[in-house]
Amino acid sequence: MEIELMREFVVFARYLNFSKAAGKLNLAQPTLSSHVQSMERELGFDLVQRGKRLRLTPAGKRFCAEAERLVASYDETVASCRGIAKEKAGSLVFEKPIHQGGIDREFDMLLLMFQEKNPSVAVSKQATPEHPVREILEMGLADVAFLFNDAVELFDDDFAGKVERLPVPDRKRGPFYLWLHKSHPLAEKQVVPLEELGKCRFLIPSSIRYQSLENLARIGSGITGAPVSCSYWPASYEECIVNVRPDEAMIVNADDMREAAYSLVKDRIYVPLEGMEELVKPCFVYLKSNDNPALEDFAAFLAEEAEG
């Protein structure tokens, strides 16, 4: 029996008058009368003793008491469930990517889009530079990390088997440049192909070493077949820039070039870098053992964005 029919009968029992009860329920009087008769047929016994005055039958009185209890319980349950539904249905903690090559802005945009489409999932971002990505995920410091390149096995084959990879939807990235000293052997080129990265030594702030900029060099070595070396500056990103040595290079894009720290360094030039699409293939990764149900929502969101 429908709960609304029980609710109607409870209201009728208060008035024992079809017209008054129908008005209270915003129903036509014949409609309410028909509903009560329908309930009686379904139950197999009379609820109302009809005559000059309407009365509830003994069975009708018992049914009314139980119906009132059931309606109240139903209303309480619905209200409680609606309250739960309004609360966050889950949460995801993301490890923020480094501020390099516009990747951080792409990361922020995707998370904003995810939050807009999944308002019931609480999203938070953090930066944990003292740990590598593997430790961040295995220690439970974050649910999801963001990598420059999906070739995880090139820098940690064991870890690659423990994570699920969620490729970032394809979109235009770059253009990218090598930020070089004028005396660097590649500074005379109009365009530097990816294959010549082996001639570079990349400067990487150790404060962001935990992220995949270091891995870019390793992946670059795998792609080019030439060793790509790195040196580390144990300070902030800005301090790293202003203390760059003539033999060190950095990969930047147009947005990076607007950073004030770059303008403070003399005798440096930007040379277009060709083939970066082979190197910058960002993806999100999370542990296969992570049973956070909100990960399914995020994976579905990225798949939908990729199709769109």
- CATH code of the domain covering residue 243: 3.40.190.10
Residue 263's alpha-carbon distances to 15, 258, 267, 269, 271, in angstroms, are 84, 8, 10, 10, 15
pLDDT score, position 146: 85
**111 and 167 in a common domain:** yes
**302 and 249 in a common domain:** no
User: How far is 12 from 69, CA to CA, in rounded Å?
Assistant: 15
Parent domain of 21: 3-86
pLDDT score, position 97: 66
pLDDT score, position 195: 79
Question: Residue 46 burial by CB count (10 A; 0-12/13-18/19+): exposed, middle or buried?
Answer: middle
Return the half-sphere exposure (C-beta side, CA atoms, 13 A cut-off) of residue 308.
7
**202 and 235 in a common domain:** yes
- Return the structure tokens found at 62: 């018992």
Which H or E element spans position 48? strand 48-49
pLDDT score, position 209: 45
Three-class SS of residue 191? coil
User: How far is 265 from 186, CA to CA, in rounded Å?
Assistant: 18
**265 and 299 in a common domain:** no
Give the residue from 27, 55, 86 where a domain finishes. Answer: 86
**96 and 146 in a common domain:** yes
**245 and 198 in a common domain:** yes
pLDDT in tens, the chain (308 residues): 788 999 988 998 998 998 998 998 899 999 989 999 999 999 899 989 988 889 999 998 999 999 899 988 888 888 877 766 655 568 899 987 665 556 677 888 899 999 999 888 889 988 776 777 888 899 998 999 887 777 655 556 788 888 998 988 877 777 888 899 999 989 999 998 877 877 777 776 655 444 445 555 666 666 666 666 777 676 677 888 888 889 888 878 777 778 888 889 999 999 998 877 767 778 899 999 999 989 999 999 999 988 86
244 within 8 A of 238, measured Cβ to Cβ: no
pLDDT score, position 301: 93
**141 and 50 in a common domain:** no
**274 and 180 in a common domain:** yes
**232 and 196 in a common domain:** yes
| Residue 28: CATH number of its domain | 1.10.10.10
Residue 297: closest CA among 120, 58, 107: 120
CB 58: neighbour CB atoms within 10 A?
11
pLDDT score, position 244: 87
Give the residue from 27, 62, 86 where a domain finishes. Answer: 86
**18 and 154 in a common domain:** no
**139 and 110 in a common domain:** yes
- Return the structure tokens found at 43: 């139950």
**207 and 163 in a common domain:** no
Reported pTM: 0.58
Residue 154: closest CA among 69, 215, 202, 94: 215
Q: How many domains does the structure of the chain reveal?
A: 3
The residue type of 259 is E
pLDDT score, position 184: 92
Strand partners, 149: 281
Give the residue from 86, 110, 125 where a domain finishes. Answer: 86
User: How far is 24 from 10, CA to CA, in rounded Å?
Assistant: 12
